[in-house]
């Protein structure tokens, strides 16, 4: 049974790339979200094994989404997708309950390492 993933990013480009990386490694991307509030809603519906979460998104940002999701499910496994220079935001996200992070530009091997750590 492969792990299910919810991919949250406001850029289709990024969602496509993350989905490709994960699908090739045998994960099942069961949903995508473009905003933080969508992410919270879809998490509720889909109960995925893993969430990849962009930090900067319209509507509700990624960090607030992490807080909301962790409130619903303290065991939620959330992997932050950040950019260079977002040190403070990443620290904040981890304190909010994110389990790990990867930094754009993504290298598939690093994404998969992080995913393994989060699921491990």
E strands in 14-99: 28-33, 50-54, 78-82
CB of 23 to other proteins, least distance (A): 3
**Which of residues 42 and 77 has its CB atom nearest to other proteins in the complex?**
42
Which among 105, 101, 103 has a CA at the least distance from the CA of 114? Answer: 101
The neighbouring-strand residues paired with 50 are 5
For 25, which DSSP code? T
Q: Assess 70 for contact with other proteins (CB under 8 A).
A: no
Which residues are near other proteins by CB under 8 A?
1-4, 6, 10-14, 16-17, 19, 21-32, 42, 45-46, 56-58, 80, 82-88, 90-92, 94-95, 99-101, 103-109, 112-117, 119-120
């Amino acid at each position: 049974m492969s792990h299910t993933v919810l991919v949250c990013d406001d850029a289709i480009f990024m969602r496509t790339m993350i989905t490709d990386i994960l699908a090739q490694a045998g994960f099942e991307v069961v949903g995508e979200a473009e905003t933080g509030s969508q992410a919270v809603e879809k998490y509720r519906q889909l109960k995925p094994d893993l969430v990849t979460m962009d930090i900067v998104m319209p509507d509700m940002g990624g960090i607030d989404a992490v807080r909301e999701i962790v409130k619903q499910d303290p065991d939620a496994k959330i992997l932050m997708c950040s950019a260079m220079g977002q040190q403070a935001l990443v620290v904040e996200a981890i304190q909010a309950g994110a389990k790990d992070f990867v930094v754009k530009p993504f290298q598939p091997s690093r994404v998969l390492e992080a995913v393994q750590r989060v699921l491990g």
